[in-house]
Structure 1
Amino acid sequence: MECPVKLFDVDDDSGKLVLQEAALQEVLLADDVRDAPVIPVSVTGPFRKGKSSLLNVLLRFLRAGGGDGNEGGDGGDGAWLDADDATSPGFPCRGGRHPVTRGIDIWPQPLPVTLASGQPAFVLLLDSQGAFDAESTQHESVTVRALVGLLSAVQVVHVSRQLQADDLAQLRLCAEYGRLIAAAAGRPARLQRLVMLVRDWAFPDDAPYGHDGGRQVLEHWLRGDGADAADDEGDLAATVERLECFLLPRPDLAAIAGAEAGDDVGQPAVEFRTQLCRLMPWLVGPAQAEPRQLEGQSLTGADLAALCRQLAAAADAPPPPESAGDALAEEARRRAEEAALRTYRARLEETAGLSLYEAAMLRALPESGPSVSDEALLAGHDAGVRSALEHYEAGHDPREEAAAAAAAAAALQHAQAHYERQMAPAAGREEPVVLQAHAGAADAARALAGDSQDLTHCL
C-alpha cells in the first residue's frame, strides 16, 4: 500500500527540519524522474482544515489522467472523484484535535503530466504540517511554510471562509523568511505560483465560486481599506510571480461528517463537486502545468534534489522568524516615517514663488520697524511639523507611537538647531541683515527637509 514518505522531518529535541536523503533517492533521483522536468505542488495552511484531503483529490485527478487532459478542460464529469482507491488511500486524514502531518511529506510516486508544449513532466505532491497549531513552535511553522514555498511550482494556501488580514500577515512573514533562507543558500527567492484557496466561501452573492470570483476577492484583499494596502500589494508583487485565488463552496453535511470520520472526499454537494472539477485542471492541467523555474531554467528531479540540500543547509542560517517579524514591523515604521517626511517637505514647497515656511515668516514681517520675533519666524516650520505628525498618526501602527514621538522630537530638535545656527550671527543686527540670515536659514531648512537620508541619519 502506497503512503507518503517524509521529505523533511522535525527533530524533536531541537525543532529543526532535517532533510531525509532516502526520500531524495527514492523519489527525485529515480531513473525516470532525475532528468525530467518536475512540478512540485504543495498545500499549506492551518491544521485540521483539509489540506491532506485536497491533496487526495489532486491525486485522484492525476491518476485518472487529468494531467494529460484526458478528463477535459473542466475536469470532465467528475467520475474520477468516485474512483476506488482502497489499495492506496493517499495522504492520511483523520478527525480530532491533534495534527496528523509533521514536517514535509512527499508522495512516493511522481505523477506523469503533459505540458502545453507536449513535453512529458512529473507532478510531485507535497503535504506539510498545519501552520501555527498549538503543538508547533512559530519557528517550526514559518520554516516549514517558507521551505515549501521555495520548492513549489504551485503552492496552495488553504484558508477557511474568507481572506483575512492575518492571512496576509502570515503570507508576508513566511515569504520574508523564505527570502532570508534563499539568500543564505545563494538561490532566488521568488515564489512561482501561489494560489489562495478559500474553502467554504460564504458570500457567493458578492463574488461567485471559482477563479473569477477569486480574482475579485484577491483584488479587494490587496487594494482594500488600510494605509498599507498599496505597500502590501507591492511587497507581494516583489515576492510572488503569480498570485491567484479560487473560491470553493461548502460541501454538504454528509461530506463533512465523512471527513471527520476519516473519509477524505465523501459525497460532496453538486456545486462543490462542480467546482472541484474546475479547480483540478486549473491547478495542474496541461494548459496550466509549468515546471519549477529558477533563473529561467526548468528544474529536473536531480535539480530539485540539489535545491533541497542547499535549502536544508541554509535553513538555520537566518535569524529566527521572530526577527523576520521585527524586520517587517521596522519596514512599516520606515514607510510611515518617509510618508511624514514627504508631507513635511510638501509644506515647504514653493507657493507663488515662495516656500510655505518662508511665506509665513515674510507675512509676519512689518514693512518697517523692528525685526520679527523668533516665535514668528518658526511659525511656518511648526505648521509643517504638525502636518507631518498628523499624517503619521493617521497611518501608523498604534504600537509605534512612542517611537514616532521620539523620532518627531529628534527631527524637530535637529531642524531647530540648524535654524538657530543660521540665525545666530544676525543677533542684534538691523532688519536687512535679519532678512539675509533668514534666507540662509530657510535654505538650510529646505535642504534638511529635502534630504530624507540625511534626516533619517540624524534621527
Structure 2
Amino acid sequence: MSFDFDLTAPFVPEFSTRDQMEHRHKVFPVQLIAANSNNPQAFRLNENALNAVLGHREIANKKIVIISVAGAFRKGKSFLLNFFLEYLYALQNAQQNDIKLEWLGDDTQLQGFHWRSGAKRDTVGIWLWGEPIMIEAANGEKYAVVLMDTQGTFDNSSTLKQCTTIFGLSTLLSSLQCYNVVDNIPEDALQHLTLFVEYGRLALKEAQDFGKPFQQLTFVVRDFKSPEEFPYSDGGSKFLEQVLQVTPDQPEELRVVREQLKECFDTLSCFLLPHPGYKVAEQGSFKGYVKDIRPLFREEAKRMTTALLNPQVLQPKLVNGKEITCKKMIDYIREFSRVFENNLLPEPRSILNANAQLMCVEAAMEAKTSYCRGMDRSTAGPRMMSEKKLLEAHIKHGITALNIFDKCPKIGDGEVRSANLARLQEDINAELEKYKRLNEDKRVTGCASALLACGDSIVFGLGLGGAASSAVVASVFTLQMGIVSAGIVAIPISLSALFGIWCYVTIRPLCCDDHKN
C-alpha cells in the first residue's frame, strides 16, 4: 500500500539519541493514514512515513510506546500533544545530562503538531511525530516513545465509518489512548467504544492467557464545568466512576460497554481540565507561548502530562501479552491497516483474525529458525552425509518446528492458521533442497581434500591425482564421442583412483602408527 498525494518529506536524520534536542525544530509530523484519493470513504497506509519514523536500524529492537490522542473535532488534541512533546524532550535532556527536570516555563513556546482555532478541520487521518523520542524507563531500559495525532470526529466532512476507522486504528495501535472530550463524557463517546468491547470479548474468550486486549484508556475532559463537585486535581476517578455506573434505564449496548470496559482495558483513568483561557481560543492571536495560557489550565495540564508519561508508568505496546519492538510494530501497523482499508466497518472477528495472522507469522518464523539451526548442526561435518541420514535429520527437526508452530494459540478462523501452516511446510521443504545442494557440494570438496592430504608424498599424490583426473577426462571424452563401452570402462577407473586416494589418506597413518609401536 502507498499514498498517491504530495507530502513534504520530513527531516530524517541518522538516528541518534544524543542530538534529538538539537534537531527537534527540524522534525515535523508525518501522515501515516490518509483518505484514499480514489475513494474518500476508504483509508490507505503511507509506507514511507511508517519507515521514516520506525525504520531506523538503531531502534529496530527497542520496545515502543505509542501515545495517542483521539476524540472530538476541533477540541485541542494537537494542542494537548504539544504538551506531551515538550515534556518528553525535556525529560530526555534531563536524563542524558543528569540534571533536574524543568519544563513549561513562561517563555516556552509549544510547537510541533499543527493546531489552530476555527471551524475547519485541520488534521485528516492519523499522524505520527516524525521521530521516536528515546526515554529511559524506571527499569533502566530505553523505550522509543511515539506520539500519535488523529482526525477529529463528527465534523461535517467525516462519516461515522471514517470516525470509527480512525478511532479504531489508533486504539489498536496505541499503548495509551487519550480520549479527548469536552464538558462531559457523552453517550456517543462511549458508543465509539462498542466495536472494541466486542473485539475485546472475543479476544478474552479465545486467548485468555494473554490478559486484557487493550492497555490504557484515559478520558481527558476539557473545559470541565463542575470543579466544585469533582475537583480538577483529584476528581477525575470519581467522575469516571459515576459515568460508568450501570442503570436499568440505559440501552443494552451502553450497559454492555460500561460492564466490559474494565474487562478489556488494563487501566481506565480520567483527568479533568479547565478552559485554557480565551486568548488561546482566539483565532490568530495565540502563538503557543505558555505565558498566554490560563495558569490553572497550565498547572493541571502539567500535572496530567507528568502522571501519564513519567518513566515510572511508561508501558511498551503489548501484542498478545508480548512487548513489541519498533521492527515488529511495523508489521503490526501494516496488518491492522489492511483490516480497515475498505469501505466497510470491520467486524470484531476480522480484527481477531488479523491478530491471529500476526501470531501465526511470528510462530512460523520461530519454527523455521529452529529447523534451520537444527539442520545446521546436523550437517556441520566436513564429509557428505548419506541421503538417508539427511532425510532423518530433516524429519527430526521438521517435527520440532511443527511442534513449535502448534503451540501458537488457536484464535480466529481456522483458515488463517491452515494457510500459515501450509506456508511453513513449503518453506521447510525449500530449506531441505538447500541442504541437499550443500551436502552434494561436499562430495567435490571431500575429493579435493583427499588430494591435498597426499601432500606428504608428492610423487604418490601427483600420481594418483593425475590418474584420477585423466580417467575422468577420458570418460567424458569417450562418452561425447559416442564410444559407450569405453566410457563405461573409464568411469570405474576414475572411481578406483579416488578410492586409492582415500585408502592412502585413511589407512597409511594407521599403518605408520602400528610400525612406530
- Range class of TM-score, shorter chain: 0.5 to 0.7
The answer to whether 1:197 aligns with 2:254 is no
Q: Corresponding residue for 1:107?
A: 129
Q: Corresponding residue for 1:216?
A: 238
Structure 1 distance, partners of 2:307, 2:284, is: 24
Q: How does 1:169-318 map to 2 (within 5 A)?
A: 169-173=191-195, 175-176=197-198, 190-210=213-233, 212-223=234-245, 225-228=247-250, 231-257=256-282, 261=286, 263=288, 267-316=292-341
**Residues 264 and 4 from structure 1, CA distance in 2 versus in 1: closer, same or farther, beyond 3 angstroms?**
farther
Amino acid aligned to 1:139: K
**Residues 163 and 200 from structure 1, CA distance in 2 versus in 1: closer, same or farther, beyond 3 angstroms?**
same
**Residues 178 and 6 from structure 1, CA distance in 2 versus in 1: closer, same or farther, beyond 3 angstroms?**
farther
Structure 2 distance, partners of 1:264, 1:128, is: 23
Structure 2 distance, partners of 1:206, 1:70, is: 42
Q: Corresponding residue for 2:407?
A: none
* Contact 1:51–1:127 (8 Å) recurs in 2: yes
Superposed displacement of residue 189, structure 1: 8.3
| Aligned-partner SS, 2:28 | coil
Amino acid aligned to 1:48: R
The answer to whether 1:132 aligns with 2:158 is no
Superposed displacement of residue 57, structure 1: 1.1
Amino acid aligned to 1:201: F
Residues 80-135 of structure 1, C-alpha deviations (whole Å, 9 max, x = no match): 574346xxx31111222111111111111211112121111111011110012110
Q: How does 1:297-446 map to 2 (within 5 A)?
A: 297-316=322-341, 319-320=344-345
Identify which of 148, 163, 168 aligns with 1:141: 163
Superposed displacement of residue 296, structure 1: 2.2
* Contact 1:44–1:155 (8 Å) recurs in 2: yes
Q: Corresponding residue for 1:377?
A: none
Superposed displacement of residue 300, structure 1: 0.8
Q: Corresponding residue for 1:58?
A: 84
> Structure 2: which 5+ runs fail to align?
1-25, 349-517
**Residues 276 and 22 from structure 1, CA distance in 2 versus in 1: closer, same or farther, beyond 3 angstroms?**
same
| Aligned-partner SS, 1:16 | strand
Structure 2 distance, partners of 1:230, 1:158, is: 22
* Contact 2:181–2:221 (8 Å) recurs in 1: yes
Structure 2 distance, partners of 1:82, 1:36, is: 34
| Aligned-partner SS, 2:118 | coil
* Contact 1:103–1:144 (8 Å) recurs in 2: yes
| Aligned-partner SS, 2:84 | helix
**Residues 264 and 40 from structure 1, CA distance in 2 versus in 1: closer, same or farther, beyond 3 angstroms?**
farther
* Contact 1:181–1:317 (8 Å) recurs in 2: no
Residues 49-83 of structure 1, C-alpha deviations (whole Å, 9 max, x = no match): 000001111111111116967999xx966445743
| Aligned-partner SS, 1:215 | helix
Identify which of 162, 183, 205 aligns with 1:161: 183
Amino acid aligned to 1:108: G
Q: Corresponding residue for 2:53?
A: 27
Q: Which structure exhibits the higher relative contact order, with contacts defined as CA atoms closer than 8 Å and separated by 6 or more residues?
A: 1
Q: How many residues align?
A: 314
Structure 2 distance, partners of 1:177, 1:34, is: 29
Identify which of 49, 67, 79 aligns with 1:41: 67
Q: Corresponding residue for 2:114?
A: 92
Superposed displacement of residue 150, structure 1: 0.5
**Residues 45 and 156 from structure 1, CA distance in 2 versus in 1: closer, same or farther, beyond 3 angstroms?**
same
* Contact 2:35–2:44 (8 Å) recurs in 1: yes
Residues 246-294 of structure 1, C-alpha deviations (whole Å, 9 max, x = no match): 1111222223326775648562222212112211121111111010011
Amino acid aligned to 1:208: P
What is the identity percentage for the equivalent residue pairs of Structure 1 and Structure 2?
30
Structure 2 distance, partners of 1:316, 1:79, is: 39
**Residues 30 and 70 from structure 1, CA distance in 2 versus in 1: closer, same or farther, beyond 3 angstroms?**
closer
Residues 122-151 of structure 1, C-alpha deviations (whole Å, 9 max, x = no match): 110111100121101211110111000000
Amino acid aligned to 1:39: V
TM-score (norm. length: structure 1): 0.62
Amino acid aligned to 2:244: L
Amino acid aligned to 1:154: L
- Which protein has the larger Cα radius of gyration, Structure 1 or Structure 2? 2
**Residues 270 and 70 from structure 1, CA distance in 2 versus in 1: closer, same or farther, beyond 3 angstroms?**
farther
* Contact 1:5–1:108 (8 Å) recurs in 2: yes
| Aligned-partner SS, 1:65 | helix
* Contact 1:36–1:300 (8 Å) recurs in 2: yes
Deviates further, 158-167 or 262-271: 262-271
TM-score (norm. length: structure 2): 0.55
**Residues 268 and 19 from structure 1, CA distance in 2 versus in 1: closer, same or farther, beyond 3 angstroms?**
same
Q: Corresponding residue for 1:121?
A: 143
* Contact 1:132–1:141 (8 Å) recurs in 2: yes
Structure 2 distance, partners of 1:180, 1:136, is: 29
Amino acid aligned to 1:116: A
**Residues 256 and 224 from structure 1, CA distance in 2 versus in 1: closer, same or farther, beyond 3 angstroms?**
farther
Structure 2 distance, partners of 1:182, 1:234, is: 14
Structure 2 distance, partners of 1:258, 1:76, is: 32
Amino acid aligned to 2:172: L
Structure 1 distance, partners of 2:194, 2:53, is: 31
* Contact 1:67–1:285 (8 Å) recurs in 2: no
Amino acid aligned to 2:216: R
Superposed displacement of residue 177, structure 1: 7.0
* Contact 1:67–1:112 (8 Å) recurs in 2: no
* Contact 2:177–2:216 (8 Å) recurs in 1: yes
Amino acid aligned to 2:218: V
RMSD of aligned residue pairs (Cα, Å) = 3.2
> Structure 1: which 5+ runs fail to align?
325-459
